[in-house]
Amino acid sequence: MTEAERYDTNRPNLCAALRWKGMFIWAEHDPTVQSSNTGIFWCLHTQTCLGPDGKLAEPEQCASSGRGCHCQAFTVA
């Protein structure tokens, strides 16, 4: 799996508690600009890079409803 795939925030079933810098940039999508996913993610509940279950807070792992801390999913526009 590539880094781009691992950090892809456009996943189905992504936990609603996952946060990343790009969520707070209010700009129209420009397909000519490279994605700014930096790999810096945090959990809304713990305010750290780890979820309440002690596992990494990142899109690859936070898209699994099998995690006990997983919140209802949302879609990113």
Beta-strand pair 18-20/41-43:
antiparallel
Confirm whether 51 is domain-assigned. Answer: yes
Confirm whether 60 is domain-assigned. Answer: yes
Closest by alpha carbon to 67, among 8, 6, 15, 10?
A: 15
Instruction: Give the chain's residues under pLDDT 70.
Output: 35-38, 73-77
Confirm whether 50 is domain-assigned. Answer: yes
pLDDT of residue 51: 95
Number of domains making up the chain: 1
pLDDT of residue 36: 63
pLDDT of residue 77: 45
pLDDT of residue 63: 92
Confirm whether 59 is domain-assigned. Answer: yes
Give the residue numbers spanning the domain of 43: 1-21+39-64
Element (DSSP H or E) covering residue 4: helix 3-6
Q: What is the pTM of this model?
A: 0.78
**Residues forming beta bridges with residue 43, ordered by sequence position:** 18
pLDDT of residue 5: 85
pLDDT of residue 31: 82
Total Cβ atoms within 10 A of residue 37: 19
Confirm whether 73 is domain-assigned. Answer: no
Our CA angle for 6, 19, 67, nearest 5°, is 65
